[in-house]
Structure 1
């Protein structure tokens, strides 16, 4: 007999909400407040280079190397501006600190139009909701200021968990919080490896949110969502 669905786990960034402006635009706005004029495209390119370096050398916010989410991000921001020829240590530190705090504010995030209705529909179906996200400890504040936090029974961030997707251990922590078998849990996310493959490797009903119609030939159509509007009908098939 098939186990009925009881929980829905959610990724957050690029699933329920997204950054409102590009990184280059955000960083240049802060630089402008400090009297600097930088090129957003150059800053964006520098950011991606630095971000890849930090993610490779200091994975999951460098927890294993004694860093945390805040110190990791401040390093990323400082090095991004340094690549754009900003050299004043005091100025670099000030901008990095301000940007770290600014990204906890609602004005820097945009909730997707289909997010709230999807969360409400899950609750109406009698399902409990949790978060499993590769994110730092600001996530609870971000969800609160964006009005999404009350929908969730628990939040697991990779910084708090000490492990990041696609390592299955982060989902194991979620399974323990849910207190039901993996077959009674669904997970919604936009990343093929981190969300879809990782959750399904544990027997969770993983759904891949594909807002941009990318080509995933090995993902069955019934596991793909082009928008969250399609989610309730998919979940209903697993409830009873």
Structure 2
């Protein structure tokens, strides 16, 4: 995608969802495959605690950590837990499902440290990310990222995944709120120098990304990579970032 067929003479870009002048992306499981990084690191640091666990068990273990314990992450966003606290609680919940008690003290510290060291090494960009960024660059469309994690942590994640070209980044500590509060999306819009109605926002979380950004006045798009049921969702949807440009 060296050039975009939707590029217009006035510097805007035609998409299936309207004419835009800027694009904002979620990061985790939108630009980078965080679920792969998490589940791969989890297995590596937990195999000694779960000897003999079959693949179905590891799949279940990963689902608990990545999808069924996100209330701990919500408590982190609310300021009730530290980042490491929520990570440890999620690990304990997943291990506890298989009858393993991750004890306080050195055992918990070693597990948490090992996971924190390994997980970033497995973070990688999805295959459709570089082509869409190339197309936006060719069309002269500014882009950035808005994330429900702190700026510096996500900056390191993007850089480690080879996405240092994404210069504009808003984290939860940038404006002191998290998605779906309008201010966090609007700070991204400000950094792009666009207007909300001219700015596409795309992410894998239907509520926080598509619906939240739409409520803030942006053109929200749900990136539904895994084919989740729409369940009454009436907004814009793509299954790949390749679907963003007409």
TM-score (normalizing by structure 2): 0.75
Question: 2:15 maps to what in 1?
Answer: none
Instruction: Judge conservation of contact 1:104–1:138 (CA < 8 Å) in 2.
Output: no
1:141 to 156, 167, 175: 156
Question: 2:107 maps to what in 1?
Answer: 91
2:130 to 81, 91, 116: 116
Question: 2:182 maps to what in 1?
Answer: 168
Task: State the secondary structure of the residue aligned to 1:26.
Answer: helix
CA distance in 2 between partners of 1:113 and 1:191 (Å): 19
1:156 to 158, 166, 170: 170
Query: 1:3 offset after TM fit, Å?
Result: 10
2:73 to 34, 55, 60: 55
1:36 to 41, 44, 49: 49
Question: 1:230 maps to what in 2?
Answer: 243
Question: 2:146 maps to what in 1?
Answer: 132
Q: State the Cα deviation string for residues 151-208 of structure 1 (Å, max 9, x = none).
A: x231112254432211222112223323332122111112211111111112211222
Task: State the secondary structure of the residue aligned to 1:17.
Answer: coil
TM-score (normalizing by structure 1): 0.77
More helix by share: 1
Q: State the Cα deviation string for residues 54-109 of structure 1 (Å, max 9, x = none).
A: 235x241x53x3x443444345435654662232620111110221232222xx12
The 1:229/1:26 distance shift into structure 2, 3 A limit, reads same
CA distance in 2 between partners of 1:232 and 1:103 (Å): 32
User: What is the aligned length?
Assistant: 221
